[in-house]
Structure 1
Amino acid sequence: MKLFIYEHCPFCVKARMIFGLKNIPVELVVMQNDDEATPQKMVGQKIAPILMKDDGSCMPESLEIVNYVDKLDGEPLLTGKLNPAISDWLRQINGYLNKLTLPRIAGASFEEFATPEARNYFKEKKEATIGDFEELKRHADGFIKNVNDDLRKLDKLIVKPNAVNGELSMDDIHLFPVLRSLTLIQGVEYPSRVADYRDNMAKQTQVNLLSSVAA
């Protein structure tokens, strides 16, 4: 199977996670951010991730991919109960997270930005949605303070470092990509249980953190 992704994309991380958790081999294909033709040819729209199955058929939408791969062997892993407090926490941080991460993503050395055209495509599209990146960077300290406050709240919710609620669930699929995105941001302070969970999930899922390109 092949998984067509962008390296920065949290939705792509969700799809990558299930392959790592189940130790199922998959070929990662990083699309250029301005490549509209490839995803449109596969699924009719510019979207990521896209799973190309062994029979050549293609499946978009991260959660559909997660569900499909998790059940392939008849022994699903993501069977744990959900915690509404995790959903509430994610709703809170996702209310402002893009304003902090997207300006930094635009300047980072991700493979999907191999050409200036691909990087500019991303920048123009996202600025049209959330506002001028330079202006957002000027407010970064306030966003980072919010992040640090929210991470202290999250620390109290983590049950085990290998599963936020004690048993792997969809909460892990939603939570880890957010924590991975935050590793792109210098100045974020991780309480001990959050840090242990983040690092453990990176190993379990075989998805790299972004600390090496943090800004």
Structure 2
Amino acid sequence: MKLHIYEHCPFCVRARMIFGLKNIPYATAVIPEGNSEIPLRMVGRKVVPILEKDDGTFMAESMDIVKFVDALSAPRLTDAGIDPAVKQWCDEATKTLFLLAIPRFTQGEFAELATEEAREAYIARERKAFGDLDALMADTPALLSDMHARLETLEPLLAGRTAVDTTDFILFPLLRSLTIVSGVKFGPATLRYLNKLEKEAGVDLLFNQAR
């Protein structure tokens, strides 16, 4: 099977996670930013991730891919529901998190941004969605202050987490996105969580690109 992805994309991280956690071999192919022909040909719309199955058919939607791959072998990781407290944290933290991460994604070293044309297309897309990216970078101190307060409330929610379940496919991709932000202070429980999932899922964190 092959996953068609963006390397920076948190939704693509979900799909990558399940293969790593279940130890199922897979290939990846990175779709260049601004290229709509490839996803349109596969699933009829511009979206990632896309799973190319062994029978040549395609599947979109990250959690659909997660559940499909999860069902291929025991034990099932997604039978349990989402921890409501963690889900609430994600819902409330997502705006600040992406105001910090998105401008840095546009500057990052990702295969989907390998050409100037692809990077310009991505910058244009995110400017349309988030506004002035330079202004967001300048607002980093205020955004970090808000994010740190939110990360403090996450610590007790992660202190007792051990087994992987559906919750982690929501939380880990968001926190992984935040690792591209220089100056973020993760608490010990959150940092342990990130390092654990990086190893078990085989999805790299972005500390080496932090800016």
Q: Indicate the TM-score class for this superposition, using the shorter chain for normalisation.
A: over 0.9
Equivalence for 2:40 = 40
**Residue equivalent to 2:186:** 190
The equivalent of 1:174 in structure 2 is 170
User: What are structure 1's unaligned runs of at least 5 residues?
Assistant: none
Alpha-carbon contact 2:96-2:147 (below 8 Å) kept: no
User: Where does residue 53 of structure 1 map in the other structure?
Assistant: 53
SS in structure 2 of the partner of residue 156 of structure 1: helix
User: Which amino acid letter does the alignment assign opposite residue 15 of structure 1?
Assistant: A
In the TM superposition, residue 159 of structure 1 has moved relative to its aligned partner by 4.0
| Correspondences of 1:59-138 after superposition (within 5 Å) | 59-73=59-73, 75-138=75-138
TM-superposed CA distance for 1:67, in Å, is 0.5
Taking the aligned partners of 2:209 and 2:10, their CA distance within structure 1 comes to 16
DSSP 3-state at the match of 1:95: helix
For residues 202 and 73 of structure 1, the distance between their equivalents in structure 2, rounded to whole angstroms, comes to 21
Matched, 1:31 2:31: yes
| Shift of residue 82, structure 1, vs aligned partner | 3.0
The CA deviation string for residues 45-89 of structure 1, in whole angstroms up to 9 with x for no partner, is 111000000000000000000010000125412334532110110
Once the two structures are TM-superposed, the CA of residue 135 in structure 1 deviates from its matched residue by 1.0
Q: Report the residue type matching 1:110 in the other structure.
A: F
Whole-angstrom CA distance in 2 between matches of 1:121 and 1:85: 37
Aligned residues with identical type, % of pairs: 39
183, 196, 203: which is aligned to 1:200? Answer: 196
Partners of 2:22 and 2:73 within 8 A in 1:
no
The code of the aligned residue for 2:118 comes to A
Distance 1:183 1:83, change over 3 A: same
Answer whether contact 2:19 2:69 (CA < 8 A) is retained: yes
Would the aligned equivalents of 1:148 and 1:189 in 2 still touch at CA under 8 Å?
A: yes
Q: Report what 2:142 is aligned to.
A: 142
Q: For the Cα contact (< 8 Å) 2:19–2:26, is it kept in 1?
A: yes
The count of aligned residue pairs is 211
In structure 1, what is the Cα distance between the partners aligned to 2:123 and 2:81? 38
TM-score by length of 2: 0.96
- Distance in 2, Cα, partners of 1:120 & 1:187: 26
Separation of aligned partners in 2, 1:45 and 1:35: 11
Moved more, 48-57 or 74-83: 74-83
Task: Report the alpha carbon displacement of residue 170 of structure 1 after superposing the two structures with TM.
Answer: 1.1
Q: d(CA) in 2 for partners of 1:81 and 1:105?
A: 30
Amino acid in structure 2 at the alignment position of 1:169:
D
Q: Deviation string for 1:169-192 (max 9, x for gaps)?
A: 211110001111111000000111
